[in-house]
Amino acid sequence: MKSRLAISAIGIPIIIAFVMYGGLPFVLALSIVGGLGSWETSRMLIYRDVFSNPKICFIFSLANIASVYYLISLTNLENIIAVSLLFSALFSILWLSTDFLKTSNSLNKILGILCPTFYVSGLMSFAVLIADHPYGKQWLIILLLSTWAIDSGSFTIGKLIGKTPFFKKISPNKTIEGAIAGYVFGIPSTILGIIFLIPWEHLNYISDSTIINLSSIFIFGIFISSSSQIGDLIASLIKRKSGVKNSSGMMKAHGGVLDRIDSIELNLVVLYYFVAWMVI
At residue 105, the pLDDT reads 76
At residue 184, the pLDDT reads 94
Give the separation between CA 269 and CA 256, rounded to whole angstroms: 22
Beta carbons of 122 and 264 less than 8 angstroms apart: no
Closest by alpha carbon to 275, among 74, 31, 78?
Answer: 78
Question: Which residue range is the domain that position 166 belongs to?
Answer: 2-278
| Number of structural domains the chain divides into | 1
Q: What residues have CB less than 8 Å from 168, skipping those under 6 apart?
A: 174
Beta carbons of 57 and 51 less than 8 angstroms apart: no
For the chain of 280 residues, list the mean pLDDT of each consecutive stretch of 10: 59 82 91 94 90 94 94 86 95 87 74 94 95 91 93 86 80 85 94 89 64 82 94 91 79 75 92 81
Query: Sign (positive/negative) of CA torsion 129, 131, 133, 136?
Result: positive
Closest by alpha carbon to 140, among 3, 233, 27?
Answer: 27
At residue 102, the pLDDT reads 62
Beta carbons of 139 and 129 less than 8 angstroms apart: no
At residue 76, the pLDDT reads 82
Instruction: State pTM to two decimals.
Output: 0.91
pLDDT in tens, 20-55: 888 899 999 999 999 999 999 999 999 888 889 999
Give the separation between CA 179 and CA 176, rounded to whole angstroms: 5
At residue 212, the pLDDT reads 67
